[in-house]
Amino acid sequence: MRSEILTLALLVGLCNWAFRVFPTRADLSTLPPDGILARFLAATGPAAITTLFVASVMPWLQGGQVVPMVFGTVAILGGYVASRSVVAATLAGSAGYGFAVWVLAFLA
């Protein structure tokens, strides 16, 4: 593996970790509910779902298979309708998309 790719993966992983740990470790009780940081943190769930959707749509737009995108999207919608939780919807979409990719690779 090239060192540039490894360095990029480590930096992205570190930023992702910090982005997820900060809200759980910081004392956010003193934040004003309409403040910019509170709004930013409230938008992270929908942003995660949008990121998963875009990541699944890009290969399809470039001539890839549509099955994983459809399966992931249905899993996101089903997870959200069933639980009304952005976290559950995000995990369901990831699992659904990954499962569809795995099945297609297994069948190929």
| 8 pLDDT higher than 70 | yes
What gap in Å lies between CA 91 and CA 52, rounded to an integer?
10
Cβ atoms of residues 97 and 78 within 8 Å: no
- Average pLDDT for residues 6-33, to the nearest whole number? 82
Q: What pLDDT does 21 receive?
A: 82
| 1 pLDDT higher than 70 | no
pTM of the shown model: 0.52
47-71 pLDDT, tens digit each = 877 887 787 777 777 777 788 888 9
Whose tokens are 């069948």? That residue is: 107
Q: What pLDDT does 95 receive?
A: 94
Contacts 24+ apart (CB under 8 A), 41-46: 44/19, 45/86, 45/87, 45/90, 46/86
Of the two residues 9 and 57, the one the predictor is more confident about is: 9
What gap in Å lies between CA 8 and CA 49, rounded to an integer?
23
Q: What pLDDT does 42 receive?
A: 79
| 75 pLDDT higher than 90 | yes
